[in-house]
Amino acid sequence: DIPYELIVVDLTKGEHKKPDHTEKQPFGQIPYIDDNGFILYESRAIARYLIKNYPEKGTQGLIPSDPKAEALFEQAASVEVSNFNAFAAAVAVEKVFKPRRNLQADEAKVAENIASLKAKLDVYEVILGKHDYLAGDNVTLADLQHLPYGSLLFPAGYGDVFTSRKNVA
């Protein structure tokens, strides 16, 4: 329970490209936070900052403090960025976001990214056969970072990439 004020930025109106936004997020993207004057952008950096800055708010363990456990967390976080996020995001763009704007999905792009994602998740299946989570037996931020785009694979029609793999599901 970290107190916050949600400010909705209407991307369809280009609010993220206006000077009052780019002054805080120079790439004109979302999200960014203002924590009592400390401005930070990029979701992974924000999550890490909040975990470390507010440990009393239920974030303990999401970034391990033991050096070996932290190294395994960093490895798992890199795996998510390099072997999951780009593929899942590409499918979400084509099958979820484009239809919301009445645009056609590029099915070749979807097929290519799903094939890559399936191959990557086959490796996840092996890793998760050895322990409960990517960095060991406790959930970490690395696991949670799969949720934004991973959850969109279900409405995109590709939830089976998870459910067809016992350890991944």
Q: What is the pLDDT of residue 59?
A: 87
**Mean pLDDT of all residues belonging to the chain:** 97
What b/e string do you get for 62-101 counting C-beta neighbours within 10 Å, with b at 16 or more? bbbeeeebeebbeebbebbeebbbebbbbbbbbbbeeeee
Looking at the fold, whether 159 and 128 belong to one and the same domain comes out as yes
- 66-101 pLDDT, tens digit each: 999 999 999 999 999 999 999 999 999 999 999 999
- 127-155 pLDDT, tens digit each: 999 999 999 999 999 999 999 999 999 99
Looking at the fold, whether 95 and 151 belong to one and the same domain comes out as yes
Looking at the fold, whether 90 and 153 belong to one and the same domain comes out as yes
Cβ-count burial of 6 within 10 angstroms (0-12 exposed, 13-18 middle, 19+ buried)? exposed
* Residue that finishes a domain, picked among 38, 57, 76: 57
Query: Using the 8-state DSSP alphabet, how is residue 136 labeled?
Result: B
- In this structure, are residues 114 and 78 in contact, taking their beta carbons and an 8 Å threshold? no
- The whole domain housing 99 covers 67-163
Residue 87 lies in a domain: yes
Q: What is the pLDDT of residue 97?
A: 96
Looking at the fold, whether 51 and 81 belong to one and the same domain comes out as no
Domains: count for the chain: 2
Looking at the fold, whether 110 and 41 belong to one and the same domain comes out as no
User: Quick one: pLDDT band at residue 60, thresholds 50, 70, 90?
Assistant: confident
CATH code, domain with 38: 3.40.30.10
